[in-house]
């Protein structure tokens, strides 16, 4: 089910639906913790179109004004996607979970077959235009991240086994720039790669229990530092020389060195954070805890919570918090959605 709500009132403007199972057709493991879609829809402001990806591989593009479906295909049916293999302590396959990424007129999708891990589709027609040199199985990760390496446009992604950076410049689309091994016990790296200039941060709890900064060139990846702190689900936020993420507590490291500045709060396994335009950190986690926290430039020695609201949800806060046009959207795993209007602090 795809729904469009009025941002000011929450009133439903339209809805569209299509048949889809609760789990991907090759699913294996942890079904009690998730069901339905996990990939964030990708919106194209230029065309007013929205692309969604279901756990069962339904890649669909819609008219965001009306809910009319424009084009679509099923990745399992089209590309014969196999079940992910055992890569650690226990085998897992959560279906398709990595969000599509729009770059110009091209939609990048982590398909995860021998023909190519990533495939590029024309955003207007759905016609496939190229495949990546990397042929890894698709990762269990939130999303891909665009970056520039020595002036060349690239994308960083977590596959089932590796961090991979590949080119997207004309004539060299899909060519691998760097591969860095990063496999977890459950083939699970929900926290995506975080990019700042030519550096990529990757992190996982499980068997790694660490966060790692890598510097990219067109010849490969070099490790800058690795620190014994980890995120389980939250992709790190790199902001003004510091790194933040929510897992159990809000963590803050120095981006240059990986040294911990502070940690604090209580946000459970699930959580997310974003920076506001005035430099504070908004944190959403646990079963509905929402906090506004001072950044480490202003508060370098300690976690400083400015405002807190609790018990805003009835289930864990797996979906990422969203801030847009002065409104804050908080959603829990059961689908309960709340919107808050932000005002100046008194």
118-121 contacts: CB < 8 A, separation 24 or more?
118/144, 118/155, 118/157, 118/166, 118/174, 119/79, 120/168, 120/173, 120/174, 121/59
Three-state SS for 79? helix
DSSP 131-152: E-S--PPBPS-S--EEEEETTE
Q: How far apart are CA 101 and CA 145, in angstroms?
A: 8
- Tell me what pLDDT residue 227 has: 98
- Tell me what pLDDT residue 108 has: 98
Q: What is the pLDDT of residues 37-55, one digit of tens each?
A: 999 999 999 999 999 999 9
Instruction: Report, in angstroms and rounded to the nearest whole number, the Rg of the chain calculated over CA atoms.
Output: 20
Smallest CA-to-CA distance from 271 within 249, 256, 294, 252 is with 249
Give the pLDDT mean for 238-258.
97
**Residue 106 main-chain phi, psi, to 5 deg:** -115, 135
- Tell me what pLDDT residue 269 has: 87
Smallest CA-to-CA distance from 134 within 153, 154, 115, 155 is with 115
Give the pLDDT mean for 192-221.
97
Write out the CATH class of domain 231-346: mainly beta
Residue 270 — very low, low, confident or very high, per pLDDT cuts 50/70/90? Answer: confident
Q: Flag whether pLDDT at 91 surpasses 50.
A: yes
- Percent of all residues in the chain with a pLDDT value above 70, rounded to a whole number: 99
- Tell me what pLDDT residue 344 has: 56
* Mean pLDDT of the chain, nearest integer: 96
Q: What is the pLDDT of residues 94-149, one digit of tens each?
A: 999 999 999 999 999 999 999 999 999 999 999 999 999 999 999 999 999 999 99
Please calculate the CA angle 254-256-259 and round it to the nearest 5 degrees. Answer: 40
Q: What residues have CB less than 8 Å from 272, skipping those under 6 apart? A: 233, 234, 235, 246, 283, 284, 285, 317, 319, 320, 321
Residue 346 — very low, low, confident or very high, per pLDDT cuts 50/70/90? Answer: very low
């Amino acid at each position: 089910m795809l729904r469009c709500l009025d941002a000011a009132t929450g009133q439903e403007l339209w809805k569209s639906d299509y048949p889809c199972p609760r789990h991907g057709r090759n699913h294996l493991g942890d079904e009690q913790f998730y069901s339905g879609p996990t990939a964030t829809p990708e919106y194209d402001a230029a065309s007013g179109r929205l692309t969604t990806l279901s756990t069962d591989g339904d890649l669909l593009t819609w008219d965001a004004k009306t809910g009319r479906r424009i084009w679509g295909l099923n990745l399992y049916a089209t590309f014969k996607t196999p079940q992910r293999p055992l890569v650690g302590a226990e085998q897992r396959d959560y279906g398709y979970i990595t969000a599509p990424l729009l770059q110009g007129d091209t939609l990048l999708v982590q398909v995860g077959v021998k023909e190519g891990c990533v495939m590029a589709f024309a955003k207007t027609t759905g016609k496939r235009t190229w495949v990546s040199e990397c042929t890894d199985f698709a990762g269990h990760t939130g999303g891909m991240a665009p970056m520039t390496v020595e002036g060349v446009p690239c994308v960083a992604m977590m596959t089932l086994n590796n961090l991979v950076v590949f080119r997207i410049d004309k004539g060299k689309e899909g060519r691998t720039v760097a591969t860095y091994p990063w496999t977890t016990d459950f083939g699970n790296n929900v926290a995506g790669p975080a990019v700042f200039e030519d550096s990529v941060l990757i992190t996982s709890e499980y068997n790694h229990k660490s966060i790692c900064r890598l510097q990219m060139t067109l010849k490969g990846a070099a490790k800058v530092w690795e620190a014994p702190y980890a995120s389980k689900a939250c992709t790190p936020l790199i902001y003004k020389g510091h790194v933040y993420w929510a897992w159990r507590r809000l963590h803050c490291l120095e981006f240059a060195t990986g040294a911990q500045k502070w940690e604090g709060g209580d946000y459970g396994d699930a959580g997310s954070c974003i920076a506001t335009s005035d430099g504070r950190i908004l944190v959403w986690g646990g079963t509905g805890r929402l906090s506004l926290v001072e950044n480490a430039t202003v508060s370098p020695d300690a976690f400083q919570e400015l405002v807190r609201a609790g018990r805003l949800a009835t289930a864990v806060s797996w979906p990422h918090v969203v801030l847009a046009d002065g409104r804050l959207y908080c959603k829990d795993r059961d689908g309960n959605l709340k919107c808050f209007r932000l005002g100046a602090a008194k």
